[in-house]
Amino acid sequence: MKKRILCVAVIAVVLAAVAELSPAQTPVGTTFTYQGQLKDGGLPASGAYDFLFYLYDSLGNLVGGPLAADDWPVEQGLFTVQLDFGNVYDGQQRWLEIAVRPGVGGGYTTLSPRQLLNATPYAVYALSAAAVGNADTLDGQSTARSTRTPRT
């Protein structure tokens, strides 16, 4: 009887430890990382800069922002920011516009051209897709009765 209780207690401790180590399933957010290069007077910028970030659709309509990053560090011309415009990714192209000024103040300079955002932020859209077009076909071929075997 003591062995059985001890065994059950050990199993409970192991299961609790495994549950504690298992990562929680968290939905993918809408934040993405933008890495940029900034030049000031033709040379790589260094120091603190203020940034404004805007998000536009392909027609030039503002869909997000401004997001501000004040006194943001730029080292040897390079900077990295985390941006979150919310759930604005619907499969259509999005363009990032950046305005910048030295951290000491003054007017913002809008950088040109706007930057096209590529596939990674659109992974969020795939997670929220309402339906799959046709799960029984792949490249026009039926997968319902597939008899293919993996190659060795």
Domain for residue 132, yes or no?
Answer: no
* Per-residue model confidence (pLDDT) at position 139: 54
On whether residue 89 sits in a domain, the answer given is: yes
Number of structural domains (the chain) is: 1
Residue 119: give the domain boundaries: 32-127
Residue 150 maps to a domain: no
Q: How far apart are CA 13 and CA 25, in angstroms?
A: 22
- Cis, peptide link before residue 121, omega less than 30° from 0: no
Q: Output the domain CATH number for residue 52.
A: 2.60.40
Identify whether 83 is part of a domain: yes
Do 98 and 65 form a contact (C-beta atoms < 8 A)?
Answer: no
Is position 107 within any domain?
A: yes
pTM score: 0.65
Residue 138: inside a domain: no
Q: Is residue 66 part of a domain?
A: yes
Burial status of residue 99 (CB atoms within 10 A of its CB: 0-12, 13-18, 19 or more): middle
Give the model's pLDDT for residue 89: 81
Asked if residue 67 belongs to a domain, the reply is yes
Ordered mean pLDDT values, 10 residues apiece, the chain (152 residues): 44 43 65 93 96 97 97 97 91 94 94 87 54 52 48 48
Model pLDDT, residue 133: 52
Model pLDDT, residue 41 = 92
